[in-house]
Structure 1
């Protein structure tokens, strides 16, 4: 049997790229459950933070993989299996998934009765959707291997504290969990729609206007600060100052939208000044708007400013500010979307020694000795290329084009950067000079531009 499945989003929104996978049309009920083993009531798991996204180890049928912890998805999805990955999938059947835009459906596999494991937390009888073709190419866009995303399937059976500062996840057994006693914390009720969590907050669109109450998806799988759906309320309008930017990649191609700032966001007693916000029109978000009360999303660039307790069993979320709450909100001011381009063989100087001085031997006269020894090694290093470029951006005006291979950035070899570091470089401060050397065919070309703040 062939089943058609709609995925309205999985965009990896910037810092670099936002992909949001939401499965809307199939609601399969199963007896799947995560349980704590060996009498444990708490598990601590280290994670990596890439572009504000939480990447942690998850075992699928005994194979350790890297997953994004994404409160914005209600099904577990695997979309990056290499030929070298050996993973047995149980009870499979073909499905098709459809993404944002008008592209063709993408073939996938629905596999049932799988075992997941996070340390001593075991999930049995788990469903997983496997994208046959790695359409997202998320790993190349993040510069690190990402196999999939998981959200509700895990979070419905545990309570998790996310400490973004220490990069640790604390999973608690609900029956043994004690809610933190914290006067400085903010506790908010969660409302669920299709197994995704929403909270009520307020936002100020215009400095001269009033606060607008909005219902927002808590989306740890979105790396941007805020999404707003243009026109979801009559007061939600794009500010006068905005620019068209690359917001992410969907199954059907690149997603563009209007990037701007709003004066403030209020989450309970916490006031967040001048966050960046991306406005998406009704055509782009037609599937995401199936929940008529929804006005947008709160993503990782907001959440990382707190310790976050996510309590699905009791329908609560608790926030406690950390030291980054008052930091500014930045975005890619270059106009370049850089992705991982595989590895290249690089010649490196292995050992170089130069010595100047006088040496005396018993049977020789004093003399000036110069010794110079050099050897080289060849190593595979990461390569990066320009995947997309924003129209009228500083980089485009300088002459850089899609497909250019990045060789140097500000005098440093490109392979000495991680993709995360390159993203941070483009978000440092307005007017910062960027010197870049690219390879285009047989030519090496030098360009220079300055980061430009448009909002």
Structure 2
């Protein structure tokens, strides 16, 4: 099992006497977004332990990058769509600080429909996973937003700690698996083998395997679970009594049963029962040691954070840019922009009106029977304000949080539809009542 690590002649390396490289990251929707330099171009990637080779996508007209030794291939990922054509490239230079790989393979997806930036609210150009975990001991501190890429030669495991536990992982087909227990109904505790997937923003995915005790609970609803390389992923959203990984137990855990069609490219699931994603992983600071076959979990301040559900039933995404007009009460000839989120293109008119170019946020999906659907919101509606707050001042994930703050809260949403402003009001409900 460990042989591939020992014989790899290429890969990421640190300077000879450097023990580790620290890399700051931004966490967006439970995903780790890291800066990566490829052949001199500065890009941003999702750190995705579920991907075996880096995949580059979402290259806009403003992005310029040289890639080497190209050939055409066909690839497929999660989702119920068809396989897609991509470019396979060899001999590229990847850099994360002083961590460098001068001979990195990657895929380039040219389909412009593969764009995670619109749903995350920040530019994201690709996903990167196994190669980093193979070559370093990867320490993720979700609390401080830092990665430490440890040189395995110099790495020393942490001392025993009551809040931390080191567990075995298995590395199969360049992916890590951990064993756990899911607590189903009627005191039924089911042992499971889970893919450790930092590239999933969800909490827990389980395969519908009644013969193994993994039956979908009666209280569930159909939901959009995310976007894969091969299309959208749908399934049944539900809640289970809990999940245990090692000695750590999370009660009333959020779970989903994705439809089997989304995993069509996997002919045989083997003994895998699902995956554990970012909404659970962020509750720990984690040390992945692929060479040693271990993962160390230490509870952090997120451990008891309630699981987040889409109470409103609305999915949002960016949809290009739009102008907004704001009157300026006190004009002294200087345009101030204290809120440096998106609105950084401004025109000042003589009648003390400021035009700002800001991202347009639209409703990209609505769950049938949800409070938003019953109130009359429609796919394609442009969100203008929530509870009186103009949303152009906020990041996309902050807007989503406004829409799903807490059960029982009344939400008033101002939208634009066919050049008319409309106001809708609804109460957030317990999705399992």
Flag whether TM exceeds 0.5 (same fold). yes
Cα 1:435–1:161 change in 2 (3 A) is same
Identify which of 124, 149, 158 aligns with 1:171. 149
2:409 equivalent to 1:396: no
Equivalent residue, structure 1, for 2:339 = none
Equivalent residue, structure 1, for 2:13 = 35
CA shift for structure 1 position 452: 1.7
CA shift for structure 1 position 30: 7.5
CA shift for structure 1 position 284: 3.0
Deviations 1:7-54 (A, max 9, x none): xxxxxxxxxxxxxxxxxxxxxx98431000263111111100000000
Q: Is the CA contact (8 Å cut-off) linking 2:72 and 2:86 kept in structure 1?
A: yes
Equivalent residue, structure 1, for 2:386 = 409
Equivalent residue, structure 1, for 2:343 = none
Q: Is the CA contact (8 Å cut-off) linking 1:193 and 1:291 kept in structure 2?
A: no
SS of corresponding position for 2:260: coil
Q: Is the CA contact (8 Å cut-off) linking 2:240 and 2:254 kept in structure 1?
A: yes
**What is the CA–CA distance in structure 2 between the aligned matches of 1:158 and 1:271, rounded to whole Å?**
28
In the alignment, structure 1 segments of 5+ residues that lack a partner are 1-28, 355-372
CA shift for structure 1 position 261: 0.7
**What is the CA–CA distance in structure 1 between the aligned matches of 2:399 and 2:211, rounded to whole Å?**
37
Within-5 A mapping of 1:102-121? 103-121=81-99
Decide which moves more: 159-168 or 242-251. 242-251
2:259 equivalent to 1:275: no
Equivalent residue, structure 2, for 1:319 = 297
Identify which of 160, 175, 188 aligns with 1:196. 175
SS of corresponding position for 1:302: helix
Identify which of 196, 199, 207 aligns with 1:221. 199
Identify which of 230, 233, 251 aligns with 1:255. 233
**What is the CA–CA distance in structure 2 between the aligned matches of 1:132 and 1:345, rounded to whole Å?**
30
Deviations 1:195-254 (A, max 9, x none): 100011111111x22311100011111111100001175300011111111111234543
Within-5 A mapping of 1:238-249? 238-249=216-227
**What is the CA–CA distance in structure 1 between the aligned matches of 2:178 and 2:77, rounded to whole Å?**
25
Equivalent residue, structure 2, for 1:19 = none
Rg larger in structure: 1
**What is the CA–CA distance in structure 2 between the aligned matches of 1:163 and 1:100, rounded to whole Å?**
28
SS of corresponding position for 2:400: helix
**What is the CA–CA distance in structure 1 between the aligned matches of 2:227 and 2:383, rounded to whole Å?**
21
Deviations 1:375-399 (A, max 9, x none): 2322211210011111111111111
Identify which of 267, 290, 299 aligns with 2:277. 299
Equivalent residue, structure 2, for 1:212 = 190
**What is the CA–CA distance in structure 2 between the aligned matches of 1:307 and 1:58, rounded to whole Å?**
22
Q: Is the CA contact (8 Å cut-off) linking 1:30 and 1:125 kept in structure 2?
A: no
**What is the CA–CA distance in structure 2 between the aligned matches of 1:247 and 1:132, rounded to whole Å?**
24
**What is the CA–CA distance in structure 1 between the aligned matches of 2:142 and 2:25, rounded to whole Å?**
9
Root mean square deviation, CA, Å = 1.9
2:74 equivalent to 1:96: yes
Identify which of 286, 291, 315 aligns with 1:337. 315
- Given the two structures, how large is their TM-score scaled by the length of structure 1? 0.86
Deviations 1:71-120 (A, max 9, x none): 11111100111111110000001112234455333221111010101100
Cα 1:289–1:221 change in 2 (3 A) is farther
Within-5 A mapping of 1:131-150? 131-150=109-128
**What is the CA–CA distance in structure 2 between the aligned matches of 1:324 and 1:404, rounded to whole Å?**
34
Q: Is the CA contact (8 Å cut-off) linking 1:260 and 1:278 kept in structure 2?
A: yes
Cα 1:253–1:102 change in 2 (3 A) is closer
The runs of 4+ residues in structure 1 deviating greater than 4 Å are: 99-102
Within-5 A mapping of 1:44-123? 44-100=22-78, 103-123=81-101
Aligned residues: 408
SS of corresponding position for 1:284: helix
**What is the CA–CA distance in structure 2 between the aligned matches of 1:104 and 1:162, rounded to whole Å?**
34
**What is the CA–CA distance in structure 1 between the aligned matches of 2:330 and 2:155, rounded to whole Å?**
58
Q: Is the CA contact (8 Å cut-off) linking 2:171 and 2:177 kept in structure 1?
A: yes
**What is the CA–CA distance in structure 1 between the aligned matches of 2:231 and 2:207, rounded to whole Å?**
19
CA shift for structure 1 position 282: 2.8
**What is the CA–CA distance in structure 1 between the aligned matches of 2:52 and 2:325, rounded to whole Å?**
47
- Given the two structures, how large is their TM-score scaled by the length of structure 2? 0.90
Q: Is the CA contact (8 Å cut-off) linking 1:383 and 1:414 kept in structure 2?
A: no
**What is the CA–CA distance in structure 1 between the aligned matches of 2:416 and 2:39, rounded to whole Å?**
43
Q: Is the CA contact (8 Å cut-off) linking 2:375 and 2:425 kept in structure 1?
A: yes
**What is the CA–CA distance in structure 2 between the aligned matches of 1:147 and 1:335, rounded to whole Å?**
28
